[in-house]
């Protein structure tokens, strides 16, 4: 059996400052990928920002002999998604892999759910995947190669109390990724 390798490939991982995204970034780098570690560095509910988490993971990859750059753009806007992809192209000249992993939580029982709890979750999880994937997709189509991976959740398939917004965004992300 051969080892899985990504030598020479460039991966963008959103939400890579902590948790599953961090593990994606470290695993890709350990297998030879050059990684854009994207993380706004906000709190779990998406407020605030901090360059620390993305830079710490990029530094960890570099210390282990890999290549990585930190990016703190927000995938929640078209400009932010384009900036993330531009970081990859400026640093490494290409994009081969996008892992849409960024996420926030704004949990509330449905009868207490307000648009200000719904919209930011959609903006990060679902629209964020669109904003990052579309400019990367153009590059991937031109060269005839690319991989898109999106982190979803059982909450999007089975539901979970208090997560109408999160579950809907994650279910949408499944449909988005399947269509691609």
Catalytic residue among 17, 22, 126, 166: 166
Answer whether 92's CB lies under 8 Å from 34's CB. Answer: yes
Does the active-site annotation cover 145? no
CA nearest neighbour of 122 among 70, 50, 42, 46: 46
In a 13 Å sphere around the CA of 16, the CA atoms on its Cβ side amount to 35
Q: Which ranges in the chain belong to alpha helices (H)? A: 19-30, 52-63, 78-92, 115-122, 128-143, 154-157, 164-179
Q: CA 11 → CA 22, 161, 163, distances in Å?
A: 13, 34, 30
Residues 99/108, Cβ–Cβ less than 8 Å: no
CB 31 within 8 A of CB 5: yes
Residues annotated as catalytic are 166
């Amino acid at each position: 059996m051969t080892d899985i390798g990504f030598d020479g490939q460039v991966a963008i991982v959103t939400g890579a400052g902590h948790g599953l995204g961090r593990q994606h970034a470290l695993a890709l780098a350990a297998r030879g990928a050059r990684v854009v570690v994207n993380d706004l560095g906000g709190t779990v509910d998406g407020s605030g920002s901090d360059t620390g988490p993305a830079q710490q993971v990029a530094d960890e990859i570099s210390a282990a002999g890999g290549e990585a750059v930190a990016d703190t753009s927000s995938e929640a806007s078209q400009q932010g998604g384009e900036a993330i992809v531009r970081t990859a192209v400026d640093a490494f000249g290409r994009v081969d892999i996008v892992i849409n992993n960024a996420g926030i939580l704004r949990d509330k029982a449905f009868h207490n759910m307000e648009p200000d709890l719904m919209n930011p979750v959609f903006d990060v999880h679902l629209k964020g995947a669109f904003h990052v994937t579309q400019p990367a997709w153009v590059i991937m189509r031109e060269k005839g190669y690319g991989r898109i991976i999106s982190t979803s959740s059982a909450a999007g398939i089975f539901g979970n109390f208090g997560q109408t917004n999160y579950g809907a965004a994650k279910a949408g992300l499944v449909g988005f990724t399947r269509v691609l």
